Structure 1
Amino acid sequence: MISDAELLATADALQAEGRKVLEALRLDVAFAGFGPAEPVGSVVSGLMVWRDLDVVFTAPHATTAGVLTALAGLPGLVAVDYRDERGDRRPTPNPVDERHYAVCRHQAPGGIWKVDLTVWLHAVDRPTRAEAERLAREVTPEQRLAILRLKHLWHTRPEYPDVVGGTDVYDAVMAHGVRAADEFDRYLAARQRR
């Protein structure tokens, strides 16, 4: 089992490596005109357990051709899964959730990074960056260790992140006092019964 010190050291190392990957990708150059590249998620909150980055843009004028051209300009990509999630293909019934979405694999010196790029077509308040910043500010050392441990246990499972993801872990630890794997299992079971 990984020690607390190893979890903390890994999270810090991954966060530093993730920032270097973001610099190397030069997203603001490839996606010039798409609005600023806004990192969200665990690279902002400091709660990283694996090589995974999330970046959002807001670009109401974005087209499939423009997004694919921008993706082609990114260095070090070894794979891209692009999805046009506009109209009836959007991820939720909410009409403002139209987007272009790409899951990229980027080869970095430390290994392959998964980089999720979301180009939102509607400029609405999305709390993802603010939530990550809030977590970074408010998480206690005890909560941080619990979150890192649970994410470490879950991130390789097939249910992660589509059925159970980081936001579930954050809610369980920050709002419900969960600290251990068995407590998280009970939290998930109770949530399912609702």
Structure 2
Amino acid sequence: MISELEELNLMIQTEADEILYEYGLMGVLHSFGKPFVSGSYFLNLMTWRDLDIYLSSDVMNEESFFELGKNISLCIRPSKMNYRNEYIGRTEHLPRGFYWGCYTNITASAWKVDIWAIPSDEFAQKHKEIQELKAKVNPEQRIAILSLKKSFYNHPLYRKQFFSVDIYTAVLEDKISSEDSFITWLLVNKGITI
């Protein structure tokens, strides 16, 4: 099982690199600010095709963000792009900034690419938080996280009521390592029955 998880992670990371570097997404992003690929890519914990990218910019406005959106669409040819302005929306758990949610089949598989353009202070905080998280994960915990993410990524409540961060917390803080114990953990800690 361990080799299967590692193989999956490596395969998805290789596809991600293709999107970022061969198709030129990082080049596009660099022309609008300072990009950082965060989330499971940075953590080396990939089990599905999703990229989380933060773009540091203190001068981004709606006009330049839509110019960025045009350049992204020419680069990775998404079938759909969702836009958010969280300077206006101010959704509680989301960053203050502009967002593109891109859905692309430019590789052999379907990908979701989340791009947040945020101010440099918030960017620095996000960068610090993910570095601290990565430093906490030992090899045994890494396998537990990969296994749980692979087990639950298709669950209908995943990314709606519970998230990757809950898996990280359960494994790192409460030493959860099995599907059954994580299901119990969700009930006890979040009141979620799955």
1:65 is displaced (CA, Å) by: 2.2
Q: CA RMSD in A?
A: 2.3
The CA deviation string for residues 2-56 of structure 1, in whole angstroms up to 9 with x for no partner, is: x332111101221222122111453454345532111101111110000110000
> 33-42 or 165-174, which moves further after superposition?
33-42
Deviation at residue 68 of structure 1 after TM alignment: 1.6
Q: Matches of 2:93 and 2:172 in 1, distance apart? A: 29
Looking at structure 2, the residues matched to 147 and 8 of structure 1 have their Cα atoms a distance apart, in angstroms, of 12
Equivalents in 2 of 1:32, 1:136: separation in Å?
Answer: 24
Say which of 179, 184, 187 aligns to 2:177: 179
Unaligned runs of 5+ in 2: none
Query: Which whole-Å CA distance do the structure 1 matches of 2:190 and 2:36 have between them?
Result: 33
Distance in 2 separating the partners of 1:36 and 1:99: 14
Q: Percent identity?
A: 26
Shift of 1:142: 1.9
Alignment of 1:33-182 (within 5 A): 34-74=32-72, 75-76=75-76, 77-87=78-88, 89-92=89-92, 97-121=95-119, 123-124=121-122, 126-182=124-180
Tell me how far apart the structure 1 counterparts of residues 126 and 57 of structure 2 sit (CA, whole Å): 17
Query: Per-residue displacement from partner, 1:77-120 (whole Å, max 9, x unpaired)?
Result: 22101111113x122289xx421111101223331211000011
- Contact kept, 8 Å, 1:57 with 1:118, in 2: the verdict is yes
Partner of 1:23: 21
Contact 1:39 1:129 in 2 (8 A): no
Quick one: structure 1 residues 172 and 93, their matched pair in 2 at CA, closer, same or farther if it must change by over 3 Å? closer
Deviation at 1:182, TM superposition (A): 0.9
Range moving further from structure 2, 9-18 or 28-37: 28-37
Secondary structure (helix, strand or coil) at the match of 1:73 reads helix
Gaps of 5+ in 1: none
With the length of structure 1 as denominator, give the TM-score of the two structures.
Answer: 0.85
Q: What is the CA deviation profile of residues 110-145 of structure 1, one whole-angstrom value per residue up to 9, with x for unaligned ones?
A: 312110000114633654333434444442232112
Partner Cα separation in structure 2 for residue 84 and residue 161 of structure 1: 20
What's the secondary structure of 2:105's corresponding residue? strand
SS at 1:123's partner residue? Answer: helix
One-letter identity of the residue aligned with 1:65? E
CA distance in 2, matches of 1:54, 1:101: 11
CA contact (8 A) 1:27 1:37 kept: no
Kept in 2, the 8 Å contact 1:42–1:132? The answer is no
Contact 1:106 1:114 in 2 (8 A): yes
Contact 1:80 1:105 in 2 (8 A): yes
- How far the C-alpha of 1:176 sits from its partner, in A, is 0.6
Length, aligned pairs only: 188
More helix by share: 2
One-letter amino acid of the structure 2 residue matched with residue 110 of structure 1: A
